[in-house]
Amino acid sequence: MWNLIFTFQVYLVHSMLEAKEIKTKLGTLLQKPDSAIDLIIPYTEKPEKPAKAQKTSPDEALQWRESLEKLLQNAYGLASFRSFLRSEFSEENIEFWIACEEYKKIKSPTKMAEKAKKIFEQFIQTEAPKEVNIDHCTKAVTMKNLVEPSVNSFNEAQKRIFALMEKDSLPRFVRSEFYQELIK
């Protein structure tokens, strides 16, 4: 009997993981493509090299493995990290972090409220297209903060996502072939 219950529990966990993966991929597919080619080939298997930012030195890139903050402060580092996450279909965290940084720069209360609503609908609310993984308490605090939006409205959620990227995404990035090429 216990074996049957355990098997059922494993099946449920596996099904929930598959559902989350499908949701993530559907969210990606439902995004408006930048060009017609994106409809055919939405992402490359290997991260694209960032074109906009000036390439960094291997010494500077070596510092990124020590600090996500240093990586995010470097334009090439941010672009590289984002490209890597996109190749793994897990870019929602970095996109949320960037949206929060842009949000903090808004001065107009009207524009701040509009941007807060967009961020909430895109990343925070349940079943959002790019829903980030934050706990119920953080989500509740964020929703409370949005009653009267301020530059600090998303601070707790942004801190959680930063910690998640630091613990999970950064180590994967540092082990990637793309990063290994940067430090040569």
Query: What average pLDDT score do residues 121-146 get?
Result: 96
Mean pLDDT of the chain: 80
Give CA–CA dist 175/18, Å, rounded. Answer: 25
Residue 143 has pLDDT above 80, yes or no: yes
The model's pTM is: 0.71
> Which amino acid is residue 125, in one-letter code?
Q
Query: What average pLDDT score do residues 2-30 get?
Result: 46
What is the tens place of the pLDDT at every residue in 40-87?
A: 333 344 445 554 567 889 999 999 999 999 999 999 999 999 999 999
Give CA–CA dist 119/143, Å, rounded. Answer: 11
Neighbours of 40 (CB within 10 A): 8
What is the tens place of the pLDDT at every residue in 89-111?
A: 999 999 999 999 999 999 999 99
Residue of higher predicted confidence among 106 and 6: 106
Residue 24 has pLDDT above 90, yes or no: no
Alpha carbon separation from 66 to 24, 28, 135, 157, 174 (Å, rounded) = 29, 30, 26, 23, 10
Residue 10 has pLDDT above 50, yes or no: no
At residue 4, the pLDDT reads: 42
**Number of residues assigned to the chain:** 184
CB 95, CB 118: distance < 8 Å: no
Residue 122 has pLDDT above 60, yes or no: yes
Alpha carbon separation from 157 to 16, 21, 36, 103 (Å, rounded) = 23, 22, 34, 13
Query: What average pLDDT score do residues 3-8 get?
Result: 43
